[in-house]
Amino acid sequence: MTCFSSRQRCQSGFSLLELIVVIAMMAVLTGVIVPRLNLGGEEKQVRDETLRLAELMNRAAEESVFKTRQLGVRFTDGDYHFLLLDGDGREGKWVAYDSTMFRTREWPDDFDIEVQITDQPIELDASESFKIDEKTRPHIMFLSNGEVMPDFKVTVEKGFNDERWQVASGVEELITVGKAEEF
């Protein structure tokens, strides 16, 4: 409370500086807390993870052409790894791609992943026991000539949710993404 003289009445309230400090603190807390909440539900989480995978695969395809190198991706039941062919096709070996963008990505809890190569479902390795070694091969390759091979479908869903999203090789576009029912 501020009183300037005995003839003036006293003013009460917050100063502008106090209001700005409180609003700034609320903005910081909101910025920290809101992204951790799953406000869109499981459907949004499935969609976002599938879109992320599709975007990373598109970037890997572009990078393989622009940097004239062969890249690949290998899936496990809990994550996926981007690989780089070190050496030429006959003598080379697939190694982990040491890149911030193409680092190993883990699937969120309760995600079910199904990978089909040329319309045949494949058995995914357990993520806990998977190690990249000289025998490791990618499920999908992004070649320096612009090809993506072989034909593939990666279906992502969470638990008993009806929302299924899919990333697949396409005809008009190298990689397509959408709800699984639309394919």
Q: Could you give the CA distance from residue 9 to residue 15 in angstroms, rounded to a whole number?
A: 17
Give the pLDDT of residue 161.
Answer: 66
Quote the pTM value.
0.75
Give the pLDDT of residue 6.
Answer: 58
Give the pLDDT of residue 110.
Answer: 86
C-alpha to C-alpha distances, 86 to 65, 95, 108, nearest whole angstrom: 16, 7, 30
Give the pLDDT of residue 2.
Answer: 57
Q: Could you give the CA distance from residue 69 to residue 97 in angstroms, rounded to a whole number?
A: 11
75: helix, coil or strand?
Answer: strand
> Do 64 and 144 contact (CB within 8 A), yes or no?
yes
Closest CA to 136 of 104, 173, 169: 104
> Do 111 and 49 contact (CB within 8 A), yes or no?
yes
The one-letter code for the residue type at 34 is V
| Domains identified in the chain and CATH numbers | 42-182 (3.55.40.10)
Cis omega (within 30 of 0) for bond into 35: no
**How confident is the chain (183 residues) per 10-residue block, as mean pLDDT?**
58 83 90 69 86 96 95 96 87 90 92 94 92 92 94 89 86 86 71
